[in-house]
Chain A
Amino acid sequence: MKEFFAQFAIPHPSLLIYIAMASIVLGTIALVAVVTYFKLWGYLWREWITTVDHKKIGIMYLITALVMLFRGGVDAVMLRMQLAVPDNTFLDAQHYNEVFTTHGVVMILFMAMPFITFFFNFLVPLQIGARDVAFPRLNNLAFWLFFMGMGLFNISFVIGGSPDAGWTSYFPLAGNEFSTSVGTNYYMLSLQIAGLGTLMTGINFITTIMKMRAPGMTLFKMPMFTWSALIANLIIVFAFPVLTVALAMGTMDRLFDTKFFSIGNGGMDMLWANLFWVWGHPEVYILILPAFGIFSEVISTFARRNLYGYTSMVWSMVVISVFSFAVWTHHFFTMGQGALTNSIFSITTMAIAIPTGVKIFNWLFTLYKGKIEMTTPMLYAMHFIPLFTLGGVTGVMLAMSAADYQYHNTMFLVAHFHNVIIPGVVYAMLAGLTFYWPKMFGFMLNEKIGKATVWVMSTGFVLSFIPMYITGLDGQARRMYTYSDATGFSLLNMVSFIGAGIMTVSFLMIVWNIWYSFKNSPRNISSDPWNARGLEWATHTPIPNYNFAITPDVTDATSEAFWDSKKNGTKLFKGKIEDIHMPNNSGQPFVMAVAFFILGFAFVFSMWYLAIVGLIVILGCMAFRSLEDDHGYHIHAHEVEETEKKYAKKGGAK
């Protein structure tokens, strides 16, 4: 009995972890109490947990992403705080390892990924004039698998210990010999489960986009965000299986003593590095392409003109997606792979800068010919262009393999990738969030607070990351938990810490803005408050569950169908209202995902009986699904008409 519980103990406890533990317990109790008090369990189950509505699933991704933004943000502040002064003892070496590992994993996989998936879910069906995604039930399952993977990862630091081998989890460091706690098991299994969900998302959205576009919408009439979603999902389908295999091998090495990545008996640690980055490099483009898509929507809307060079925008994304699979070894130029290999990958890496440059010039030309209106989303885009360009330039510096021997694994690299990820992905997500907020929730976010937020965020960003370029070139290594004053890094690291503090303020301002606007913003806005251009704005606000009463026909329109209808009077909704077929909600994906959670947890601690229970439930769910007869239901035409009349009475554009 004692032994049984001993295995769940944390190997490296500290005061901070105990505080976190207590706040998790108290938070959970408070949450359960509130939901029970207001009798919300039934509502949550019927309207959210079992939902197959792509808009609601999207919002669940959004909530997860925002929560994880703060979880990862706390880690980031702890890292910077530890490095703020030399010889600091705030975190010890082990704890520092755990924090940078969870910071990286959480930010890339559990913050940025759900954030873009939120946009896939919320926007793609609306932009292509569809009523739902191709496989609504699978969509629900994908969310819950992702969520359970996230949950499994996040309980690691209170049950059994966090992973501590970096978000890249290189072997042999990640093997049993050097990572003795169950932390890395958590890493392997939670990424596996969440990755399964992501793969399902990929299949679902490729099918949706290829097969469910409104009549008249040819591929080259798709809105730019939908294009970016299509390409990102194609990358998902080709990259994630590689991660699946790598994680499975890593898990087997740790749990079953196989010899894939071991040092003895033929094992090859570089195989892990290769497989990881064959997935990992395309992964960064899975994140950045949808971000580009969002910026394209925002820039064309607020420059009040159509996107310059639509076709070249599309082709540059296609080229980037292909090249993204051909550059992975730039992550280990210094690990002894020879000059020829390094040169080849050096060139392919730099080549990606060309299509990326095409996109930047297209945005600039759009702005140059447009009438710019500086709203909050547009302000994010305006800060994105110069900051991201700086990140791209330092990326090309890193791509010079010979020079990389100087700055490999230094703060220079850390500065580079934050310089592309934050102004690229994070700014895009926040711009898109502000832009689509009224469509989701029926009120606008406050513009004054919004614009102030962007300025504060960029100030914080520059202060925290530019110093890292300098200390990095001076040789400050990444993943080092402390340094001595004699290195001369102290001042710049303090500046960095202050910058991180300012960025924290900007994220809190977002929370404040949501609260403030929720209280004070007018609710009688039209369904097109920004005077925007895409089909997604041709819906009512709030959007009825069937999206469009009549499927739009865009034969006579361009990629900006709604704009055309406003400007040239192109008719989008022809024909009359008919019965609408809708899928039923189902609780079964949730049950299956919980079983996956149990399976994952059982594997982490090698509890095989529990694993068998999880497995049986999963197989049972699959058999049940196969035998089930579910034809969905119909919303009858007269019901749709009534709903539409109610909207008409409320006024606002249609």
Chain B
Amino acid sequence: MSKVNNNVPLEYSTEENNLKIFGFWVFLGAEIMLFGTLFASYFTLVDRTGSGPTGAEIFEITPVLIETFVLLTSSFTIGLAIHAMRLGSKKATINFMVITLLLGAVFLSVEIYEFYHYVHVGAGLTVSAFTSILLTTLGTHGLHVTMGLFWGALLVYQIAKRGLNSVTAGKTFIFSLYWHFLDVVWIFIFSFIYLKGMM
């Protein structure tokens, strides 16, 4: 199916890419259910702290603000990467991708510190239903970011080696959807886990 349509952006130019982008949206539907289930469980268990600490006792605002800041910025830079891709600039695309991944790495490092902090103050995974669901929800998001870093790195390598064509463009566009999605999930985590928990 090598019919190429030149009137649309590169990532939509082949039938194969159209299928993949559509399929990825469906996958994101499943991801919404996944995180939705985690959130529902979180709200069920949030006050069931047993002998362990509550959220208000362990949450620290500074690392969370840093995490939020870098992740939101990275969502912006991946947008710029796609913009550069549409303009056909391979170099700018790569640069913005790399910045995005670096920001993601910063996010992850801070999150690892945060987990270390929780364990340190006696809020490890096995302490209570609340800590179990808290660390699982955050961890699932963190795991997604980790996967995204590997995936993004492979993509940067491919764009560098093969240039921007319908294949790499399609993959990069799908990656950007994934990255934006993680950002949206984080906004929910930030608002409903941290802000609400600290109030």
- Please measure, in the bound complex, the distance between the C-alpha atom of A626 and the C-alpha atom of B150, giving whole angstroms: 11
Q: Which of B104-112, B120-128, B178-186 contacts A (4 or more CB under 8 A)?
A: B120-128
Q: Which residue of A lies closest to B32 (CB)?
A: A241
State which of B20, B22, B31, B128 has its C-beta within 8 Å of the C-beta of A259: B128
Instruction: Tell me, yes or no, whether A238 is within 8 Å of chain B by CB.
Output: yes
B2 touches A581 (CB 8 A): yes
**CB-CB contacts of B26-46 with A at 8 A, as 1s and 0s?**
110111011001100100110
Does B73 have its Cβ within 8 Å of any Cβ on chain A? Answer: no
State the CA gap A244–B45 with chains docked (Å): 18
Q: How far is the CA of A623 from the CA of B29 in the complex (A)?
A: 24
Task: Find out whether the CB atom of A241 lies under 8 angstroms from the CB atom of B30.
Answer: yes
Known: A238-B30, A258-B126, A266-B50. 9 other contacts (CB 8 A): A134-B19, A135-B23, A203-B23, A211-B18, A211-B22, A242-B33, A259-B50, A271-B41, A626-B151
Beta-carbon contacts of B57-100 to A below 8 Å, as 1s and 0s?
A: 00000000000000000000000000000000000000000000
B126 near A259: Cβ-Cβ < 8 Å: yes
Query: What is B's interface to A at a CB cutoff of 8 Å?
Result: 1-2, 18-20, 22-23, 26-27, 29-31, 33-34, 37-38, 41, 44-45, 48-52, 125-133, 136, 150-151, 154-155, 157-158, 171
The 5 A-B residue pairs whose C-beta atoms are closest, nearest first, are A266-B48, A265-B50, A266-B129, A266-B50, A241-B33
Collect the chain A residues with CB atoms within 8 Å of residue B20's CB. Answer: 135
Given known pairs A211-B18, A259-B132, the reply for A245 and B49 (CB within 8 Å) is: no
Q: Are B22's CB and A210's CB within 8 A?
A: yes
In Å, the complex CA distance between A245 and B31 comes to 11
Contact with B along A240-261 (1 / 0, CB 8 A): 1110111011001000111110
* A473 close to B (CB within 8 Å): no
Check A265 against B52 for contact (C-beta < 8 Å): yes
Q: Which residues on A sit within 8 Å (CB–CB) of B155?
A: 626
- A579's nearest neighbour on chain B, judged by CB, is B2
Answer whether residue A267 sits at the interface, using C-beta atoms and an 8 A cutoff: yes
A199-B30, A237-B30 known; A266+B130 contact, CB < 8 A: yes
Contact between chains at B129 and A249 (CB < 8 Å): no
* Chain A residue at smallest Cβ distance from B137: A245
Chain B residues contacting A134 (CB-CB under 8 Å) are: 19, 22-23
A619: Cβ under 8 A from any B Cβ: yes
* A592 on the B face (CB < 8 A): no
Q: Does A338 contact B (CB under 8 A)?
A: no
Assess whether A271 is in contact with B33, with CB atoms less than 8 Å apart: no
Q: Are B34 and A244 in contact (CB under 8 A)?
A: yes
Interface residues of A (CB under 8 A from B): 134-135, 199, 202-204, 206-207, 210-212, 237-242, 244-246, 248-249, 252, 256-260, 262, 264-268, 271, 275, 278, 581, 619, 623, 626-627
Pick 26 A–B contacts, CB within 8 A, sort by A: A134-B19, A135-B19, A199-B30, A203-B27, A203-B30, A207-B19, A237-B33, A238-B29, A239-B33, A241-B34, A245-B34, A249-B41, A249-B132, A259-B129, A260-B129, A260-B133, A266-B45, A266-B48, A266-B52, A266-B130, A267-B48, A267-B129, A271-B44, A275-B41, A581-B1, A626-B158
Which listed residue (A212, A240, A581, A626) contacts B30, Cβ 8 A? A240
In the docked arrangement, what's the CA distance between A356 and B27, Å?
A: 29
User: A134-B23, A623-B150 in contact; A252/B34 too (CB < 8 A)?
Assistant: no
Chain A's nearest CB lies how many Å from the CB of B64? 23
Complex CA gap A494/B181 in Å reads: 58
* A199 nearest in chain B by CB position: B30
Question: Inside 8 A of B150's CB, which chain A residues have their CB?
Answer: 619, 623
B130 neighbours in A (Cβ, 8 Å): 266
Name A131's closest neighbour in chain B (CB-CB): B1
Cross-chain contact A252 with B31 (CB below 8 angstroms): no
State A527–B130 Cα separation when bound (angstroms).
Answer: 61
B49: which A residues are within 8 A, CB to CB? 266
**Residue numbers in B under 8 Å from A240 (CB-CB):** 30
Contact indicator A265/B26 (Cβ below 8 Å): no
Q: Which residue of A lies closest to B130 (CB)?
A: A266
Query: Given the known A-B contacts A260-B133, A265-B128, are A242 and B23 also in contact in the complex, defined by CB atoms under 8 Å?
Result: no
Contacting pair B154 A271 (CB below 8 A) = no
**Distance A303 CA – B86 CA, assembled complex (angstroms):** 56
Closest to A270 in B: B44
B154–A266 contact, CB under 8 A? no
Residues in A neighbouring B34, C-beta threshold 8 A: 241, 244-245
Inter-chain contact B37/A265, CB cutoff 8 Å: no
Q: Which of B45, B50, B158 contacts A264, CB < 8 Å?
A: B50
Q: Which residues of A contact B27 (CB under 8 A)?
A: 203
Question: Which B residues touch A238, using CB under 8 A?
Answer: 29-30, 33
B31 touches A241 (CB 8 A): yes
Checking B18, B126, B129 against A256 with a beta-carbon cut-off of 8 angstroms, the contacting residue is: B126
The answer to whether B154 and A268 touch across the interface, beta carbons within 8 angstroms, is no
Q: Is the CB of B29 within 8 A of A259?
A: no
In the bound complex, how far is the Cα of B126 from the Cα of A203, in angstroms? 35
Roughly how many angstroms separate A403 CA and B166 CA in the complex, as a whole number? Answer: 62
Q: Is the CB of B136 within 8 A of A258?
A: yes
Query: Min CB distance, A133 to chain B, in Å?
Result: 10
Evaluate contact between A262 and B22: CB separation under 8 angstroms: no
Q: Which of B19, B22, B154 contacts A623 (CB 8 A)?
A: B154
Contact A242–B37 (Cβ < 8 Å): yes
Quote the shortest CB–CB distance from A253 to chain B (angstroms).
8
Of B18, B20, B132, most buried by chain A (CB within 10 Å of CB) is: B132
Contact call A275/B37, Cβ cutoff below 8 A: yes
CB distance from A128 to the nearest CB of B (A): 14
Q: Closest Cβ of chain A: how far from B164's Cβ, in Å?
A: 16
> A265 to B127, Cβ gap below 8 A?
yes
Residues in chain B near residue A237, CB distance under 8 A:
26, 29-30, 33
Which A residues are in CB contact (< 8 Å) with B1? 581
- Is A211 in contact with B45, judged by CB distance below 8 angstroms? no
Contacts of B157 in A (CB 8 A): 627
| Bound: A333/B198 CA distance, A | 36
Are the CB atoms of B136 and A252 closer together than 8 Å?
A: yes
Residue of B nearest to A581 (CB): B1
Interface centre among B2, B129, B171 (most CB of A within 10 A): B129
Find chain B residues with CB under 8 A from A257 CB. 126
Indicate if the CB atoms of A249 and B126 lie closer than 8 Å.
no
Residue of A with least CB distance to B126: A257
CB distance from A130 to the nearest CB of B (A): 11
Contacts of B18 in A (CB 8 A): 211
Inter-chain contacts of B30 with A (CB < 8 A)? 199, 202-203, 237-238, 240-241
Q: In the complex the two chains form, is A206's CB within 8 Å of B128's CB?
A: no
Known: A249-B136, A619-B150. Is A268-B129 also a contact (CB below 8 A)?
Answer: yes
B108 to nearest A CB, angstroms? Answer: 17
User: Does the CB pair B128–A245 fall under 8 Å?
Assistant: no
Q: A245 with B38: in contact, given A238-B33, A259-B128, A260-B45 (CB under 8 Å)?
A: yes
B132 proximity list for chain A (CB < 8 A): 249, 252, 258-260
Asked if A627 contacts B41 (CB within 8 A), the reply is no
- Residue of B with least CB distance to A200: B27
Q: What is the bound-complex CA distance between A240 and B1, given in angstroms?
A: 32
Which residues of B sit under 8 angstroms from A252, Cβ to Cβ? 125, 132, 136
